[in-house]
Amino acid sequence: MELYLRVDSAYPGDQGGGKARLDPETMLQLRLSPGDIIRISGRDTTVAKVWRAQLADWNQQKVRIDNFTRMNANVSIGDTVKITRVEDTMAAGTVVLAPPEDLPKNIPMADSSVILQNLIDFPVSMGDSVPIPIGMPFVQPQMVAYKVIELDPPEAVIITQQTEIIISDKPISGFEGISQITYEDIGGLRDELQRLRETIELPMRHPELFRHLGIEPPKGVLLFGPPGTGKTLIAKAVANESGAHFIPIAGPEVISKYYGESEQRLREVFEEAAENAPAIIFIDELDSITPKREEVTGEVERRVVAQLLTMMDGLEERGQVVVIGATNRLDAIDPALRRPGRFDREIEIGVPSNPDRVEILKIHTRGMPLFDDVRLEELAERTHGYTGADIAALSREAAIRALRRYLPQINLDEDEIPEEILNTMVVTAKDFRQALRE
Ligand code: ADP
């Protein structure tokens, strides 16, 4: 028995958990219960652990998996995968993990017992990338991918308390494990992300659709809304997930007082994009290249706008290079830039709603050991008007407050902080309350 389902992104809290969210109908058909292991086949095959999907996702023929599982099945969002039940959930005796090539040197590595703790009950198959936490225990947790280079027995699908985890010290050349921004890093903004993907990914992947219908794919999209609401974040995520080359530039950085330099810079950016297509050019603070009305001159800005228009008009009509502009002030954008064929799609990125704030809080406290008095719903209530960036800062501040409480117990001269101390460290509701008062 097998089923074909469409891939969607994981829920924010699921990131790094090896979970596959299925609806009751799918579970019934495949005779699955939560906790069972399934095989997911895309261009490659991997395994994941079944969890129940939320009601809103039922009867939609989809499976929600995170970027690690998507990478392991070699699929992206919107692709179709084959799901089968794994009859025998055999435990792994030994798993050998190899680090990626791009592991940062200056960040402390978790030792193997911490890694094991994180991997107990984790689904594995040979060749998988599994998420390993690195960095400060909770101030700046980051997940990197380690690759399973040996699995014994080969048919094993799950890591247990008894599994021996061996960390190879030889990195795999060409294997990049530092996680990039993915859809799991974005709280809320579902419709906005959907629109941006439709506008950008669809023409990139299927230019023939547009050709067939006789319409031009968009060349420019404008994201507008207050600072810190996730405009850069969603642009990066779309680039990563669609495999497009991402070139970020800041508007003010382009403006140079030397004659011809700004134009040259823009030409270079568009050349780099064309050479690496599909590509996304992201221009932050697009309003800064608009001549200011109150200034008489605005000479440089006028030239930069003219050059940008020329470059965009010259883009091939295959949708392989798209320019995303971001601004806090839509009315400050030069009207010439908003005409058809230029930045003619606009997507508003607003301040997050209460449920969106819960999601954003989940994302930014993902790697923190939260004490059980921390209620994210309550924090969401108290952070009305906060942007995603404000919530990220709040979470970091709370963790730093927690850290301060433990500092007297810690001997900073030691190479490694003893695990007994690390294991007692928690971030409490009070840490958040104090951080809120800042
Ligand atoms: P903008 O480009 O709108 O000014 P950014 O995308 O640069 O804002 O956001 C800054 C940081 O704030 C992000 O790196 C992220 O940590 C956090 N952030 C903002 N919006 C969100 C969101 N919707 N979900 C999760 N984190 C967010």
Residue nearest to atom 1 of ligand 1 (CA): 228
> Which residues lie across from 428 on neighbouring strands?
none
**Ligand 1 atom nearest 326 alpha carbon:** 2
Do the bridges between strand 37-41 and strand 80-85 make them parallel or antiparallel, or are there none, so unpaired?
antiparallel
DSSP secondary structure string for all residues of 374-413: --HHHHHHHTTT--HHHHHHHHHHHHHHHHHHHGGG--TT
Residue 188 near residue 356, CB atoms below 8 Å: yes
What global pTM score does this model have? 0.80
CA 146 to ligand 1 centroid distance, Å: 27
Residue 314 has a CB neighbour count (10 Å cut-off) of: 10
**Cα 298 from Cα 286, distance rounded (Å):** 15
**% helix, strand, coil for the chain, step of 5:** 40, 20, 40
Q: Which of 222, 229, 396 to mutate to test the pocket of ligand 1 (most atoms within 8 A of CB)?
A: 229
Span 54-107, pLDDT tens digits: 999 999 999 999 999 999 999 988 899 999 999 999 999 999 999 888 777 666
Residue nearest to atom 8 of ligand 1 (CA): 228
**Ligand 1 atom nearest 188 alpha carbon:** 23
Q: In terms of C-beta distances under 8 Å and separation of at least 24 residues, what long-range contacts does 313-317 make, across chains too?
A: 313/341, 313/342, 314/270, 315/219, 315/270, 316/274, 317/216, 317/217
**Cα 340 from Cα 344, distance rounded (Å):** 5
**Cα 324 from Cα 192, distance rounded (Å):** 14
CA 86 to ligand 1 centroid distance, Å: 39
**Cα 406 from Cα 25, distance rounded (Å):** 48
Model pLDDT, residue 210? 83
Indicate if the alpha-carbon torsion angle 152, 154, 159, 165 is positive or negative.
Answer: positive
Question: One digit per residue, pLDDT tens: the chain, 438 residues?
Answer: 899 999 999 987 788 889 999 999 999 999 999 999 999 999 999 999 999 999 999 999 999 999 999 999 999 888 999 999 999 999 999 999 998 887 776 666 666 677 777 899 999 999 999 988 776 555 555 778 899 999 999 999 999 999 999 988 888 887 877 767 888 899 999 999 999 998 898 888 888 888 888 888 889 999 999 999 999 999 999 998 888 889 999 988 887 767 778 888 899 999 999 998 899 999 999 998 877 655 556 777 888 888 999 999 888 767 789 999 999 999 888 888 999 889 989 999 999 999 999 999 999 998 788 999 999 999 999 999 999 999 999 999 999 999 888 888 777 777 677 777 777 889 999 999 999 987
Q: Which of 231, 233, 363, 397 to mutate to test the pocket of ligand 1 (most atoms within 8 A of CB)?
A: 233
**Cα 145 from Cα 132, distance rounded (Å):** 6
Model pLDDT, residue 294? 58
CA 438 to ligand 1 centroid distance, Å: 20
CA 135 to ligand 1 centroid distance, Å: 21
Q: Which residue has the tokens 């028995």?
A: 1
**Cα 200 from Cα 282, distance rounded (Å):** 12
Residue 60 burial (CB < 10 Å; 0-12/13-18/19+)?
middle
CB-defined site of ligand 1, < 6 Å: 186-189, 227-233, 326, 352, 360, 363, 388-389, 392
CA 65 to ligand 1 centroid distance, Å: 22
User: Measuring CA to CA, which residue among 88, 91, 86 is closest to residue 152?
Assistant: 91
Residue nearest to atom 6 of ligand 1 (CA): 230
Model pLDDT, residue 366? 85
Residue 65 near residue 182, CB atoms below 8 Å: no
CA 337 to ligand 1 centroid distance, Å: 25
